[in-house]
């Protein structure tokens, strides 16, 4: 019995240091890579399709700031009908998808088709409403939303909004939230597959400006939209599980979904 405190201490130390590390594997970017300011200078007058296409090409070729590759752990717990406690860890990108170098980069709003293609390519999925809430709850950096009203879907406004966020961030590092509405997956989308589901942009009180909404056609994207990646595998009670299996599970789906229909949904592209 005298060794019990030592055993408990060792057990705690092991469990506290058991968090995995998830880093995206992406192609090596070329030395002459496009910067964020270059991207929006070139795409300033482009329509959504050309801007989307260039963003996908740049991101899939590895042209993104290096900090986006290292994902952040989110911890969530729940108790089942017997009172048994279950715990899960999921991993999210620390910010929204962006193009450029470490010194000159820019967040790029994307259609759900582009966001889904990138997520699939990097073994990720797009967040649910509940995951967007978890991100805000556990974020290190929480910015107050800054709505803009003129030319909402233009590249110029997207670039301007990125600069506003950077002014708020003030070079702080870590998981950031409160800066965009998330492009999300939702059971509501199954009845409207040609629409984009958006949610979030949380205020300082934790309440989102944007409730879950599927009113926009899927090619509509404006400055306020952002695509955050979630790693395709979660660790549930220490066991690695694919997110689709988690969403299908009668208990575990509640880790990452709070809708009536939690079965997996993907945008077609």
DSSP 70: B
* Phi and psi angles of residue 6, each rounded to the nearest 5 degrees, phi first: -65, -45
pLDDT in tens, 135-192: 999 999 999 999 999 999 999 999 999 999 999 999 999 999 999 999 999 999 999 9
Task: Output the pTM of the full model.
Answer: 0.91
Instruction: Tell me how crowded residue 163 is: count the other CB atoms within 10 A of its CB.
Output: 12
- The domains of the chain are located at 20-255
- Model confidence band, residue 19 (pLDDT cutoffs 50, 70, 90): low
Is-contact 98 36, C-beta < 8 A? yes
């Amino acid at each position: 019995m005298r060794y019990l405190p030592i055993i408990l201490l060792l057990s705690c130390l092991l469990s506290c240091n058991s968090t995995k590390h998830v880093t995206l594997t992406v192609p090596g970017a070329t030395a002459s890579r496009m910067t964020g300011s270059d991207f929006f200078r070139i795409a300033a007058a482009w329509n959504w399709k050309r801007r989307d296409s260039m963003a996908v090409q740049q991101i899939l070729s590895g042209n993104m700031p290096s900090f986006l590759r290292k994902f952040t752990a989110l911890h969530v717990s729940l108790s089942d009908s017997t009172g048994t406690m279950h715990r899960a860890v999921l991993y999210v990108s620390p910010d929204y998808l962006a193009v450029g170098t470490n010194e000159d980069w820019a967040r790029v709003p994307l259609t759900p088709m582009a966001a889904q293609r990138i997520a699939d390519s990097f073994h990720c999925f797009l967040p649910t409403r509940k995951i967007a809430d978890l991100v805000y709850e556990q974020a290190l950096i929480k910015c107050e939303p800054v709505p803009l009203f003129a030319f909402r879907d233009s590249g110029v406004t997207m670039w301007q909004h990125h600069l506003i966020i950077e002014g708020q961030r003030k070079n702080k590092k870590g998981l950031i939230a409160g800066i965009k509405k998330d492009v999300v997956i939702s059971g509501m989308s199954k009845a409207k597959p040609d629409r984009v589901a958006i949610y979030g942009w949380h205020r300082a009180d934790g309440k989102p400006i944007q409730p879950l909404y599927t009113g926009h056609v899927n090619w509509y994207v404006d400055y306020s939209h952002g695509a955050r990646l979630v790693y395709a595998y979660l660790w549930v009670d220490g066991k690695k599980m694919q997110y689709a299996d988690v969403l299908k599970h009668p208990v575990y789906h509640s880790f990452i979904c709070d809708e009536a229909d939690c079965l997996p949904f993907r945008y077609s592209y």
